Amino acid sequence: MADDTYHPGLEGVTATETAISYLDVEHETILIRGYDLLKLATSVDYLSVAHLLLEERLPSADEHAAFRRNLAEQQAVPPQIWTILRQLGPHTHLMDALRTAISALATFDPTVSGVPADHLDGQLRTLLASMPVIVANMYHIRENRPLATPDPALSYAANFLAMITGHRPNPLQERAFDQLLTVYSEHELPNSTFAAIVIASTLSDTYGALTGAVASLKGPLHGGANEAVMRMLREMQTAEQAEPYLLAKLAQKERIMGFGHRVYMKQADPRAVLMKNLLAQLVSSPQEHELYQICLTGEAVMLREKGLYPNLDYYAAPVYDLLGVPIDLYTPIFFAARTAGLLAHIREQYRHNRLFRPRVRYIGPALGDVAS
């Protein structure tokens, strides 16, 4: 018997069971397999959290070294992927390039059409390993620059950032980027993770589930918000202009990117607080101080006017900026970081599968005769 209660946007609906993560709003904690995500971000590195997500426990020092070695060995991307990316049209959004690359990667995997669960470990490692190489190089291809090569001597975060910017980050930059990747790594059941497990529930392949997740995460109501935030912060130019800028937008009933959240609603996104602290540590030049002041003013105005708190994307955007990351890469990097969480959910779905197939409330015309 179908439950015909309709919840637009599935708001408040429990759609699945998971042992991976939970937004414990009451205790303002993001639980990742029993750990607080923010404590993980400040005490272990992104690879440890990826290991926790995929292998269900934090790695020992030896396991960490082996995991890192294993990923470094699997970073090679088939050169045909670069050829495909070079053929894309002049209006290519980098999330479209990423979607295409992941989809194309499937065609080089001999295990892609097998029983998903049998080949999952290999696929998970390949995808996690190749994501930084793909993300950095799809940007270089679009900019007609030479491809970057990974440096296995660097940490996952330092290598990822170095492949984008072309220079080795200093320890603060490396830590900031690592923490950014970590806070983006997993967040329960956002639209993209839901999309991925819905696809996986048909026993379609891992690449397909991830490709669907890229399309979801591109949207400005989801991952695309971080790019929109940076464009907005740049338009404001000075802290003095931030308030009139926001008031004018609010008067037009416009949504301000980087504020609000379906789950957190009327409380701070704990990840935004961490990013705000990082931003404060990263600022050094007068221009960077001004950017920081713009952010603070924006936060105060939105709280006063709408009672809304910043979400992760609001403070991640200026952190990216200070790390020298081009705006167009903000959302692809978010996706690259989220790959660990997505793959954990896809695997969990395969292990405890039940096909997603909800019903609708029909509001179309009643049954009528076909005119003869």
Ligand X SMILES: CC(C)(COP(=O)(O)OP(=O)(O)OC[C@H]1O[C@@H](n2cnc3c(N)ncnc32)[C@H](O)[C@@H]1OP(=O)(O)O)[C@@H](O)C(=O)NCCC(=O)NCCS
Q: Give least dist CB 228 to ligand X, A.
A: 7
Q: Is 313 a catalytic residue?
A: yes
- Structure-token match 């984008």, residue found: 164
The residue (of 30 and 101) whose beta carbon lies closer to ligand X is: 30
The residue (of 78 and 220) whose beta carbon lies closer to ligand X is: 220
Q: Give least dist CB 237 to ligand X, A.
A: 20
- CA 312, 315, 319, 320 dihedral sign is positive
For 48-77, give the DSSP string.
Answer: HHHHHHHHSSPPPHHHHHHHHHHHHHT---
Instruction: Give the active site residue among 45, 109, 187, 222.
Output: 222
The residue (of 23 and 198) whose beta carbon lies closer to ligand X is: 23
For 74-103, give the DSSP string.
Answer: T----HHHHHHHHTS-TT--HHHHHHHHHH
- CA 276, 280, 285, 291 dihedral sign is positive
Distance between CA atoms of residues 240 and 44, nearest Å: 38
Instruction: Give the active site residue among 51, 187, 261, 345.
Output: 261
Q: Give least dist CB 221 to ligand X, A.
A: 4
Q: Give least dist CB 293 to ligand X, A.
A: 21
The residue ranges that bind ligand X (CB under 6 A) are: 221, 225, 255-262, 306, 308, 311-313
Q: How many CB atoms lie within 10 A of CB 285?
A: 9
Q: Is 328 a catalytic residue?
A: no
The residue (of 133 and 295) whose beta carbon lies closer to ligand X is: 295
- Structure-token match 């970590």, residue found: 182
The residue (of 67 and 334) whose beta carbon lies closer to ligand X is: 334
- Structure-token match 């029909």, residue found: 362
**Helix or strand (DSSP H, E) at 347:** helix 330-351
Instruction: Give the active site residue among 45, 178, 269, 313.
Output: 313
Q: Which has the closest alpha carbon to 101: 146, 129, 137, 74?
A: 137
Q: Give least dist CB 269 to ligand X, A.
A: 7
Q: Which has the closest alpha carbon to 329: 221, 237, 218?
A: 218
Distance between CA atoms of residues 338 and 316, nearest Å: 14
Angle at 319 between CA 306 and CA 97, to 5 degrees: 95
Tell me which residue has its CB nearest to ligand X.
260
Q: Give least dist CB 83 to ligand X, A.
A: 34
The residue (of 151 and 254) whose beta carbon lies closer to ligand X is: 254
- CA 96, 98, 102, 107 dihedral sign is positive
The residue (of 56 and 254) whose beta carbon lies closer to ligand X is: 254
Q: Give least dist CB 144 to ligand X, A.
A: 32
- CA 183, 189, 195, 198 dihedral sign is positive
Q: Which residues are part of the catalytic machinery?
A: 222, 261, 313
